[in-house]
Amino acid sequence: MREELGTLRSWQRDGVRFALATVVATSQSAPRPAGAVLAVHPDGEVLGSVSGGCVEGAVVEVATEVLETGVPQRVRYGISDDEAFAVGLTCGGTIEVFVRTVAPGDLDLDALALDLEADAPVAVAVVVDGERAGATVAIRPEGVTGSTGDEGLDHAVVADARGMLQQGATGLRHYGPHGERRIDDVGVFVAAFAPRPRMLVFGAIDFAGAVASIGRFLGYHVTVCDARARFATQARFPDADEVVVAWPHRYLSETDIDARTVICVLTHDPKFDVPVLEGALRTDAAYVGVMGSRRTHEDRLARLREAGVSETQLERLRSPIGLDLGARTPQETAVSIAAEILLERHGGSGARLTDTVGPIHREREPV
């Protein structure tokens, strides 16, 4: 919903009651993940996507009906369904979509936008079936707004949503009518908007600008750090969320690193990259990559061993950084680095899809 939020807020400010379709469950090669949304304005304008084009037409029809009746609907499309094949879902997956109306007082989109802009954690839970379908709860560390309509169900949903926020997980949960854990009568979809994961780019070179741009595109909070004030400027890195003038290893030692953080070292100078790598390889970072030739890599490994970095820690180092795509320009190199980061995140093989078999999308637990 992040991309569509600006337009949805303007609709809400204008007093518009619009239809909102949300992907609440997927399986196999579904084209869009849970949480993807499509909105329909009463004048027919369509915003967003729930399937990358496969079933958009059918969902718009359902949304139009929901706008007319005010009654929410939960619909399912799968390759085994004649209806799904007719509307175009031929990718082999299945998706479930919950469609409801959103009136100005139903969900405070301005407050949600403020949370997302501040990278503050917030989860939005909505009941997707039963007599209370459409009831919405917003869960923040400092409190809860809204209700499912039942105190016991509220308690169960809030507890699960807080846990999902910590994991950065979005998905469907099932409960009894009063929050019972072993009953599946009531489905509740929880969209967890965790703070963006961090990308730390060390070295204010031209390649860093391209890496910062693609990192922002992928949803990271990007920091570019370099000890040279002349090069580490916001003007040179407009897509970075912040540009820091500091020795890389000192900045790293003062920064919170978690299991979603990615670290790209592009400094090309042993006095910068060896100390920062020594620290980075001892963190829980999801990815640590460093730029340089193979000769530089061998020299760097020797220096890191001398600094006391273990062989197990060295195995985490991605050097030379990126996948072998034949990249040459900063922009092409940034694509190869991003591809390696995605491979690490999702457990891909790096092979051409045409040379692989089985599902295209892998099911992995979120970090």
Say whether pLDDT at 226 is over 60: yes
| Furthest-apart CA atoms within the chain: distance in Å | 71
Choice between 222 and 141, residue whose per-residue pLDDT is larger? 222
Token digits for 142? 């400092």
Which position has the higher pLDDT, 290 or 26? 290
pLDDT given for residue 250 in this prediction: 96
Instruction: Determine contact, residues 116/5, Cβ cutoff 8 Å.
Output: yes
* pLDDT tens-digit map of 334-364: 999 999 999 998 888 899 989 888 766 655 4
pLDDT above 80 (res 274): yes
The confidence score (pLDDT) of residue 365 equals 44
Question: Which pLDDT band holds residue 84 (cuts at 50, 70, 90)?
Answer: very low
For 169-214, the pLDDT digits (tens) are: 899 999 999 999 888 899 999 999 988 899 999 999 999 999 999 9
Which residue did the predictor score with more confidence, 183 or 30? 183
28 pLDDT tier (thresholds 50, 70, 90)? low
- Asked if 201 and 338 touch (Cβ cutoff 8 Å), the reply is no
Q: Which residue has the higher pLDDT, 314 or 355?
A: 314
Average pLDDT taken over every residue of the chain: 90
Mean pLDDT of 256-267: 94
Strands 143-146 and 46-48 come out as unpaired
pLDDT tens digits for 89-118? Answer: 555 578 899 999 999 888 899 999 999 988
Dig out the tokens for 92 from the structure. Answer: 């082999």
- Cβ of 31: how many Cβ atoms within 10 Å? 21
- Distance in Å from the first CA to the final CA of the chain: 21
Which pLDDT does position 158 carry in this prediction?
96
Confirm whether pTM is higher than 0.85: no
Cis peptide before 320 (omega within 30 of 0): yes
Residue 346 has what pLDDT?
84
| pLDDT confidence bin for 32, thresholds 50/70/90 | confident
pLDDT digits (tens, 9 = 90+) for 110-145: 999 999 988 899 999 999 998 899 999 999 988 999
Which residues does residue 146 pair with via DSSP β-bridges, in sequence order? 137
For the segment 229-243, the average pLDDT, to the nearest whole number, is: 96
pLDDT at 182: 85
Do the Cβ atoms of 24 and 49 come closer than 8 Å? no
Q: Which two tokens stand for residue 121?
A: 């954690």
Q: Kindly report the backbone phi and psi dihedral angles of residue 26, in degrees, each rounded to the nearest multiple of 5, phi listed first.
A: -140, 165
Q: What is the reported pLDDT for 168?
A: 79
Residues 16-40 have a mean pLDDT of 87
Residue 107: which residues within 8 A CB-CB, separation 6 or more? 124, 136, 138
Distance CA 23, CA 37 (A): 6
